[in-house]
A and B are shown apart, each in its own frame.
Chain A
């Protein structure tokens, strides 16, 4: 057991100018925006430059953003390009965080980051599951949190929070367990059922 007691290694230079400069140099005008004030700082790239940018951020010795914390998406339905995909990076050697964003049009595919970090695999599956954004080149683009036969992508803004399951579920026909898979199609008694039972006498236990 080795124990680490010393203070964190000091950052050699302020993180963002360095990253932004390197990205600017490599990508030119495909680096769309830099927001240094947020926590963590945000850089916005053109979708086509994403993999190039992430590779640079991961591999440059003075940057080394080698830890992919999370990949997620945000739906902005009013925008022309309604989806943001957000990558949160962390540098284990320099102890800094950075967010990288790209925007996507409806139906547009994002390039996968699985080649850079195997960690991206599940995160991108989750984004596909909940937002319907596909990642080009992903080895296993399937749902992860919702059931495989779920219809719709719940974290889109137009997806309702409440409602009857049968409006959202379309279960597959499976010969052996039809009663289970047809669950959503059977009428379900709402909160008024007790009154109805008292009135009609039908359904009393």
Chain B
């Protein structure tokens, strides 16, 4: 008679499919997950501490480095939080440009997710296809501000500069070709027998669990809860656009895929409306040279590609914030990983981690 007992093994922090420096201590019963303890903090850079010693403008480049695959969303949230604290409203053109950039960023981030997620599940071609289009978006960012990833293009009160000449036409060109490219991804995956087999019914998260664990973003919506910060507590110019919030039914890995694919379409829809109605005029509101918000505090949330990205800023009236807290969607979403994986196989862990789309820079701050 063979002796059987639970085995404890490490997955990560260098495992390629943990998407960064995430370490999972797995408790295995045979090949079944009996328990799991995620270990994070390998990428902790103390950004919250640093922020207490920087001026408001100097913190913005730090926010780029939090969620480094969605830097625009972080800038957007940070500027929005400080503007709300100061009572400044950026001019309409700036708000529209911000929305265009943020939605392009959402597409770029979802494309990165789609490529790597499919790669984890053995579909390599998708990776090359999605990176082709992601590259186009990064080129657009480069044309806009000179940087591809850590864009830091926004300023408190709007933008430093207007979009370069022809930039909006280039965005329109991207919108024209993107739906055709999306069809290519869907042809490769949506009815792909291996992909469906690896994802359908895998890593199910019920709506109650998702809410209880504070999961937000596409994983929450795939579980059937229609919470999107853009609609729930609208900010910037989002109330002026028409778009739908896709929600799933089963809360499994396949639904999370479907939700993100639909979000790509909705992002295109928002960008199209923003381009059609792009207002003219200034791109920066009048803000004092030294930004000193009045005493007070604000919790400003934006919908980053990963979920509710919150910025809790406390000002004591000085030129540096008294306390800054970044509510990281990856941090909250990762907590639900054990619930999603328990009772599944080790190979499913890879699929589930991919489907919640964590960025460890965001998670560890």
Do the beta carbons of A4 and B214 come within 8 Å of each other?
A: no
User: Contacts A40-B299, A97-B233, A161-B49 hold; do A4 and B247 have CB atoms under 8 A apart?
Assistant: yes
Do the beta carbons of A118 and B308 come within 8 Å of each other?
A: no
Do the beta carbons of B249 and A67 come within 8 Å of each other?
A: no
Count, chain B residues at interface, CB 8 A: 50
Contact of A74 with B by CB under 8 A = yes
Partner-contacting stretch, out of A26-34, A143-151, A189-197: A143-151
A72 to B84, CA, bound (A): 20
User: Contacts A117-B214, A144-B41, A155-B48 hold; do A70 and B335 have CB atoms under 8 A apart?
Assistant: no
Do the beta carbons of A70 and B84 come within 8 Å of each other?
A: no
Contact of B238 with A by CB under 8 A = no
* Choice from B245, B325, B332 contacting A72 with Cβ under 8 Å: B325
B262 to chain A, nearest CB (A): 7
Instruction: Report chain B residues within 8 Å CB of A147.
Output: 41
Do the beta carbons of A97 and B299 come within 8 Å of each other?
A: yes
Do the beta carbons of A145 and B246 come within 8 Å of each other?
A: no
User: Contacts A117-B214, A144-B40 hold; do A70 and B312 have CB atoms under 8 A apart?
Assistant: yes
Contact of A88 with B by CB under 8 A = yes
Q: Which residue, of B301, B308, B325, has the highest number of chain A Cβ atoms within 10 A?
A: B325
A146 to B70, CA, bound (A): 24
Q: Which A-chain residue is minimally distant from B301 (CB atoms)?
A: A69
A66 to B227, CA, bound (A): 12
User: Contacts A97-B233, A154-B49 hold; do A69 and B84 have CB atoms under 8 A apart?
Assistant: no
**Of residues 39 to 62 in B, which have CB atoms within 8 Å of A's CB atoms?**
40-41, 44, 46, 48-50, 52-53
Q: Which residue, of B53, B213, B308, B322, has the highest number of chain A Cβ atoms within 10 A?
A: B213
Instruction: Report chain A residues within 8 Å CB of B52.
Output: 161
Do the beta carbons of A4 and B245 come within 8 Å of each other?
A: yes
Q: Which B-chain residue is minimally distant from A140 (CB atoms)?
A: B37
Do the beta carbons of A118 and B212 come within 8 Å of each other?
A: yes
Chain A 9-52: CB-based contact to B (< 8 A → 1; otherwise 0): 00000000000000000000000000000111010000000000
Contact of B15 with A by CB under 8 A = no
Contact of B300 with A by CB under 8 A = yes
Instruction: Report chain A residues within 8 Å CB of B53.
Output: 161
- Interface residue SS majority, chain B: mixed
* Choice from B44, B233, B259, B262 contacting A145 with Cβ under 8 Å: B44
Classify chain A: how many residues form its interface, as a range.
Answer: 35 or more
**Of residues 249 to 268 in B, which have CB atoms within 8 Å of A's CB atoms?**
249, 258-259, 262
Q: Which A-chain residue is minimally distant from B225 (CB atoms)?
A: A92
A184 to B310, CA, bound (A): 35
Contact of A2 with B by CB under 8 A = yes
A69 to chain B, nearest CB (A): 6
Contact of B27 with A by CB under 8 A = no
Instruction: Report chain A residues within 8 Å CB of B41.
Output: 143-147
Do the beta carbons of B332 and A88 come within 8 Å of each other?
A: no
Q: Which A-chain residue is minimally distant from B312 (CB atoms)?
A: A72
Contact of B323 with A by CB under 8 A = yes
Contact of A1 with B by CB under 8 A = yes
30 contacts between A and B (CB under 8 A): A1-B246, A1-B247, A1-B249, A1-B262, A2-B224, A3-B246, A3-B262, A8-B231, A38-B296, A39-B84, A67-B214, A67-B216, A69-B299, A69-B327, A70-B214, A70-B312, A70-B325, A70-B327, A72-B325, A74-B323, A88-B310, A88-B327, A90-B308, A118-B335, A122-B335, A145-B41, A154-B46, A154-B49, A155-B49, A161-B50
Interface residues, chain A, with chain B CB atoms under 8 Å away = 1-5, 8, 38-40, 42, 66-70, 72, 74-75, 86, 88, 90, 92, 95, 97, 99, 117-119, 121-123, 126, 130, 143-147, 154-155, 159, 161
Interface residues, chain B, with chain A CB atoms under 8 Å away = 40-41, 44, 46, 48-50, 52-53, 84, 211-214, 216, 224-227, 231-233, 244-249, 258-259, 262, 296-301, 308, 310, 312, 314, 322-323, 325, 327, 331-332, 335, 364-365
Taking A1-B259, A119-B335, A146-B41 as given, write out 16 further A-B residue pairs in contact, using a Cβ cutoff of 8 Å, ordered by the A residue number. A1-B247, A3-B246, A38-B296, A39-B298, A40-B299, A69-B214, A69-B308, A69-B310, A74-B323, A90-B308, A99-B299, A117-B212, A118-B213, A118-B335, A144-B41, A155-B48
